[in-house]
């Protein structure tokens, strides 16, 4: 009995000439439609590390802001709303020695922010935004006095000419951040 040998057909090949084109188009598609999250941080410049002890600070030159773990705010031991912090910082920094309970000058004013370890992060960020906004407002006002629309326009002018930033020197941003003392 003779067995017939089955004829095997050649295997069909998948046309791969356009495979590279399709892969390239898919790559381009995903690059275009994919969003890449960029983590951003808080833009603060830290002072250089120094071995010498900090100079003594007079009590009246420090505005103490305390935020507890429930998000309650105390400014110099008085309860305050978040929306009032900017105005309190502005009046404290721009006092120029007029009120005995506020800073002697903008150059000597320090804003101390103390937060509890369990303070909600969004409250902390909002507080920091209010303090930074106060300095931005003070610098903008001084820029307008000098004939500029904003502090940013003044900075551009100063940077282009290589001049010293007198407004930043007039309103230095001195912010101290720390955890509150135990038992507070």
Please list, in sequence order, all residues whose beta carbon lies within 8 angstroms of the beta carbon of residue 11, skipping any fewer than 6 positions away: none
* Residue 44 or 51, more confident: 51
Residue 38, pLDDT > 80, answer no
Alpha helices in the chain (DSSP H): 19-33, 82-93, 121-145, 151-161, 166-170
The pTM of the full predicted model, rounded to 2 decimals, is: 0.71
At residue 152, the pLDDT reads 94
Residue 181, pLDDT > 70, answer no
At residue 160, the pLDDT reads 92
Residue 179, pLDDT > 80, answer no
Q: What percent of the chain has pLDDT over 90?
A: 43
DSSP state of 18: T
User: What pLDDT, in 10s, does the model give residues 67-95?
Assistant: 988 889 999 989 999 999 999 999 999 98
Residue 8, pLDDT > 70, answer no
* Residue 136 or 21, more confident: 136
User: What pLDDT, in 10s, does the model give residues 117-169?
Assistant: 888 888 888 999 999 999 999 999 999 999 999 999 999 999 999 999 999 99
User: What pLDDT, in 10s, does the model give residues 88-97?
Assistant: 999 999 988 7
- 8 Å CB contact between 103 and 58: no
Residue 47's closest CA among 180, 172, 179?
Answer: 172
At residue 14, the pLDDT reads 67
Relative to beta strand 78-80, strand 73-75 is: antiparallel
């Amino acid at each position: 009995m003779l067995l017939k040998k089955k004829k095997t057909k050649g295997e069909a090949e998948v046309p791969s000439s356009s495979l590279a084109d399709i892969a390239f188009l898919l790559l381009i598609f995903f690059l275009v439609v994919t969003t890449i999250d960029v983590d951003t941080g808080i833009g603060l410049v830290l002072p250089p590390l120094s071995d010498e002890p900090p100079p003594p600070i007079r009590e009246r030159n420090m505005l103490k802001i305390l935020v507890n773990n429930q998000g309650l705010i105390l400014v110099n031991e008085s309860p305050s709303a978040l929306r009032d912090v900017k105005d309190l910082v502005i009046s404290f920094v721009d006092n120029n020695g007029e009120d005995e309970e506020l800073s002697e000058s903008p150059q000597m004013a320090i804003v101390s922010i103390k937060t509890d370890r369990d303070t909600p992060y969004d409250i902390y960020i909002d507080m920091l935004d209010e303090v930074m906004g106060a300095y931005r407002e003070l610098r903008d006002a001084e820029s307008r006095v000098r004939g500029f629309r904003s502090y940013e326009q003044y900075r551009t002018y100063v940077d282009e000419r290589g001049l010293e930033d007198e407004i930043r020197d007039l309103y230095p941003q001195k912010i101290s951040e720390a955890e509150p003392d135990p038992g507070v």
